[in-house]
Amino acid sequence: MSYRTTPEETTKMPSGIPHIIGNEVAERFSFYGMKAILAVFLTEYLFLMDGASGKPVDKASSTELVHLFNMAFYLTPFIGALLADVFFGKYRVIMTLSLVYCAGHAALAFMGQFGNSNYWMFAGLLLIALGAGGIKPCVSAHVGDQFGPKNARLLSRIFNWFYFSINFGAFGSALLTPWLLKWYGPHWAFGVPGVLMAIATFVFWLGRHRFAHVPAGGIGFLKEAFGRDGLVAILKLTPVYLFVAIFWALFDQTGSTWIFQSQDMDRNFLGFEWLPSQLQSLNSVFVLLLIPIFSYMIYPWFEKFRPLTPMRKMGIGFVLMTAAFVLVSVIQVWIDGGDRPNIAWQIGAYALLTASEIMISIVALEFAYTQAPRKMKSFIMCFYLVAVALGNFLVVIVNHYIQVPSAADEQLERAIANLPADWQKDPRTVVLPGYDGETGTQDDFIRRLEKDAENPLVVPGQAKLNTIAGEIIAHATTSGHVFPDRKSGKAMVSKFKDDSGKLYRYVILNSNTVRIWGAGSDGKWNTKWDVGVIISKPEKERSKKASWLDRLHPEEDWLSKRHRQLKLTSSQVEGGDESYTQTTFSGGQPKLQGASYFWFFSALMGATALLFIPFAMVYRPKHYLQDETPGDPDP
């Protein structure tokens, strides 16, 4: 079937625009909805799914996986752009990859119904990265294709609506999907975004006869893209993109480490109890609020004193991002001290982060467009997205490096591999070799294997750890169920030494959790042989009046119901009117965590901002106008 290949001859809005806007709202809802809950799902839900590994994903590994997905998502636009501009055209690529996108959501929604849940999760994320990333450069370009000379004046208006639809979809999904995950579980939380993506695809298909279908350019596109002007533009923009990559390394952590931080905060704000993942919706709200403030107030005021070039805007943006991460670092210092700060502090960090986004992300996109020769504008936009991927790759590297494996888990995997296939029929106790590689010595690990039960690990020096934990719990019980502060806790555990002769260490993880650990049999810190115990007390639920929202969900949340179904138990020690949970571990604790993690990225962003200042002073950009004639350098 042949379609129209040129824009409508009209002075009004093209008839296909409502289909594009409707598609964008639903598609962004589906993507940001899935992304909003991914980090929490990995740490708290995945291991409970049928066919999963049966072991929770730690926060460092979860952060690594989230940013690995982000990296893949921002690399696949190259595939979509090449398929659209060289071979098939934008419409066909959008439709085909949208179906791939839907398949990815389906894989996540049906995860745990059959097969290995981990495999289904990775398959789903891979398909979504390919689908969502692949259509990213095509959709916005497809909008521009619908306008001709008679209605070109309306192009800026439609892109404003286009940007509004993105943030509207992101805001709604960031509020709804965490709520669905908590009360109805992963199938609904991943399924609803999948349904929205299917609706988005259907709405886009309905507009097929109203769209202008611009044909692909063929191999000639590649010759233009990699001509002399194109290569020079890429080389000149590369250092700018490297600076911007550091910005994205911090910005995208709102979907990972900022969520984990908010779990340890008082989330009651404005009479509403926020779920950790819901706070990401604030970014969309602040974008819509701050863009007109910057455009009509801040920028004009600044221009009275000095020309506000793109390079100067980005420089200010780097400083604002540094301030945002300094604030979350300070928040984490309070958490590490046993406090429970209100979420309003992190909302302030979101405001700084969004202001930084406006001055870097939006400005850098505009800057890249002006610096690219006319015939490779779209290609340069994809090249810009590589900077986002690089930033996420940096977070992947950091979180991969700081992870410490667990010697006990490694030994247990080997032991289970040597057991009979039907080993789960009979409970058994497994003795695992310690640092000396032999069993029957004092550094052995002991694990009880029993179906439908979570039995604690016994590590070298377990009796001593239990004694220390008992003293910490007793102190907390007599102190209104407040754990000892850093100084008092250190004094209490320093009376004991582990089997290697090292003093035990005491760390506050948050107001409800502390960690006690020793260097282990190898006598070295931060290795897989470290042993210790994590002590937790349950977070008290706030008493609140029943509201109409309580009628929309069951009395029991999905996690509680699932724990009950699986008959999961834990080692609990009674402390007055509280139950303290003890979890013994071997290794597995990250090298860089708490406030030190956030201070690391704050310092990295601060150094980036300082280095960008002299770079911006010597950089001489050139504007390529629509006739490809280089313009004068910016002042």
- Which residues, at least 6 apart from 616, have a Cβ–Cβ distance to it below 8 Å? 311, 312, 314, 315
Q: Which helix (H) or strand (E) holds 506?
A: strand 505-510
Which domains are seen in the chain, by residue range? 1-218 (1.20.1250.20), 228-403+593-635 (1.20.1250.20), 407-537+557-586 (no CATH)
Indicate the Cα dihedral angle 564, 66, 62, 529, nearest 10°: 160
- Which strands, in side-by-side order, build the sheet including 445-449? 428-432, 445-449, 457-458
pLDDT at 353 over 90: yes
Q: Where is pLDDT greater, at 219 or 524?
A: 524
**Token code pair at residue 102:** 């839907």
Using an 8 Å Cβ cutoff, are 507 and 483 in contact? no
Q: Which helix (H) or strand (E) holds 289?
A: helix 281-293
Helix, strand, coil content of the chain in percent (nearest 5): 60, 10, 30
Q: Where is pLDDT greater, at 42 or 626?
A: 42
**Token code pair at residue 535:** 């002590």
Adjacent-strand bridge partners of 268 = 273
Calculate the alpha carbon distances from 121 to 113, 191, 197 in Å: 12, 13, 18
Residue 515 is classified by DSSP as E
> pLDDT band at residue 622, thresholds of 50, 70 and 90?
low
List pLDDT tens digits, range 230-247. Answer: 677 778 888 998 999 999
Q: What pLDDT sits at residue 575?
A: 53
Calculate the alpha carbon distances from 326 to 130, 269, 333, 439 in Å: 34, 22, 10, 48
pLDDT at 325 over 70: yes
The torsion region of residue 69 among left (phi > 0), alpha (psi -120 to 50) and beta comes to: alpha
Mean pLDDT across the stretch 533-557? 70
Q: What pLDDT sits at residue 377?
A: 61
> pLDDT band at residue 129, thresholds of 50, 70 and 90?
very high
DSSP string of 290-316, one letter each residue: HHHHIIIIIHHHHHTTS---HHHHHHH
Indicate the Cα dihedral angle 51, 54, 57, 61, nearest 10°: -70
Q: What pLDDT sits at residue 67?
A: 97
Mean pLDDT across the stretch 553-569? 81
pLDDT at 378 over 70: no
Using an 8 Å Cβ cutoff, are 211 and 147 in contact? no
Residue 439 is classified by DSSP as S
- Among 82, 38, 30, smallest CA distance to 61 is for 38
Calculate the alpha carbon distances from 307 to 334, 401, 615, 617, 634 in Å: 40, 43, 17, 13, 10
Q: What pLDDT sits at residue 634?
A: 39
Q: Please, what is the angle between helix 17-44 and helix 186-206, to 10°?
A: 160
Q: What pLDDT sits at residue 635?
A: 35
Question: Mean pLDDT highest for which of 81-95, 584-598, 620-634?
Answer: 584-598
Q: Where is pLDDT greater, at 438 or 168?
A: 438
> pLDDT band at residue 361, thresholds of 50, 70 and 90?
confident
- Which residues, at least 6 apart from 51, have a Cβ–Cβ distance to it below 8 Å? 112, 114, 115, 116, 117, 118
List pLDDT tens digits, range 459-469. Answer: 999 999 999 99
Using an 8 Å Cβ cutoff, are 142 and 20 in contact? yes
Q: Where is pLDDT greater, at 55 or 197?
A: 197
Least confident of 83-97, 269-283, 506-520, 614-628: 614-628
